[in-house]
Structure 1
């Protein structure tokens, strides 16, 4: 079975194509399951769309849900369409997000940390002139947020858990036990982490997370899933077979997707 749980579309302001385009691409690429998971609005802000090029407007959220559900029904004889969302995680606004998500029939929610210490994790300038001790602190702040997201009970999947390396590859070599502790917490809370193939288009040139992190994730009993993080329809399912082979090499026997927030096990 071939699936992809992480796709975007034009509502977020930095992806191309409509939801239908991603579903049709999934059919063309031989997928049996496609998840739609655009960036959630910034529900903790007063403005309808405070950052138009980053996430959809609050006023678009109901229309987003309605469109996915309509297309789920339309395509039901060709492919299974899952309703998801990629949610930012802000501890101070977690209850606001939780209450809003409870209104909708999500198959899964991806929890992703995109800001740490008030700065985008993809802002390479954040590392300029930092001493090693401050680099360690920044890495530990990032993984502290991921641990909190794992403990929040809001998510089924955690997104791109080492994406901070995206435009700063040395991030991976900053010494800390924070990743080890984070994987332990993720395993305890029975969440899945995605293997996200979009990292190859960043400076780090590889998937999220690294093979080394996947090996430790297996040790802690963390489940894996797949997400292309496609922002153009042609990337749906990108490198699915390569990821599958790598997981088998590492020692995984299965991976998962989610339907009505219940995990569906897929043998590798």
Structure 2
């Protein structure tokens, strides 16, 4: 299905994850104020593989809050149905050794889409400042290759409709982008073959790297490999909902993309750009 002139944001967080500001309803209201037709709520899944309800440092929602999260999004979907389409999404970490646990936890729920994001490489957060200190060039290459290997496996997993911020490892280490590896093209080819969509995530502007995830050169290669694209602000504050949507759409058109995607009941929808 193709719809023209739809403004949307599929990647938003809220206070349930422990590191964002505002209620789910705050994000819905902000989307309405900003003229969006579709708002996706996609807070961090609980750490389903952990024995603890909400392990330190509490950067994901508690397992005990999972059902409440779903109920609240579905409630708001009804409350605001005449003003905006509210989609039930979620952002899940990808831990290969625990993928079956996550699959079981997510499959029974009525998600419109699941964003798969790699936040840990070699058991270290991709955003950990100083993780690159003292590494040799060969070690940096290996780290980047490991990152894209995980993203490739997440694309193959069948868990996700969208892959989140696929070069976010540059966030606090801008030099990441200049580490040369063949793995990016290989990973993009797999993503294209699997029919998974990547997001243009505008939260890079809040990190040292600036700009968006991913960088233009990756988007150009994504187009070559027939990878679909979507938009997400990754808002952790209601005022960032829809941030730079028009600019992203314009840049995608310049690169050569003809459409952007979103998902309803895990079915891909398209808008012409």
Shorter-normalised TM-score: what interval? over 0.9
**Counterpart of 2:206?**
201
Of 115, 128, 133 in structure 2, the residue corresponding to residue 128 of structure 1 is 133
Partner of 1:161: 166
Aligned partners of 1:184, 1:170: CA distance in 2, in Å?
A: 24
Partners of 1:218 and 1:21 in 2: CA distance: 35
TM-score by length of structure 2 reads: 0.97
Alignment of 1:97 with 2:105, yes or no, is no
Equivalence map 1:77-156=2 (5 Å): 77-156=82-161
Q: 2:258 aligns with which of 253, 257, 262?
A: 253
RMSD: 0.6
**Which residue of structure 1 lines up, in the alignment, with residue 3 of structure 2?**
none
Q: Is the 8 A contact 1:12 1:52 kept in 2?
A: no
Whether contact under 8 Å (1:72, 1:80) holds in the other structure is: yes
Please, which runs of 5 or more residues in structure 1 have no aligned partner? none
Question: 1:52 Cα shift?
Answer: 4.7
Secondary structure of the residue that 1:266 maps to in structure 2?
strand
Corresponding residue number in structure 2 for 1:46: 51
Q: Which runs of structure 2 are paired with 1:168-179 in the superposition (5 Å)?
A: 168-179=173-184
Q: Which secondary structure state, in structure 2, belongs to the residue aligned with residue 50 of structure 1?
A: coil
- Whole-angstrom CA distance in 2 between matches of 1:175 and 1:31: 38
Contact 1:34 1:81 in 2 (8 A): yes
Query: By how many angstroms is 1:125 displaced?
Result: 1.0
Q: If the length of structure 1 is used for normalisation, what is the TM-score? A: 0.99
Q: How many residues align?
A: 268
- 1:53 Cα offset (Å): 3.0
Q: Tell me what 1:61 maps to.
A: 66
Distance 1:129 1:52, change over 3 A: closer
Is contact 1:195-1:225 (8 Å) kept?
A: yes
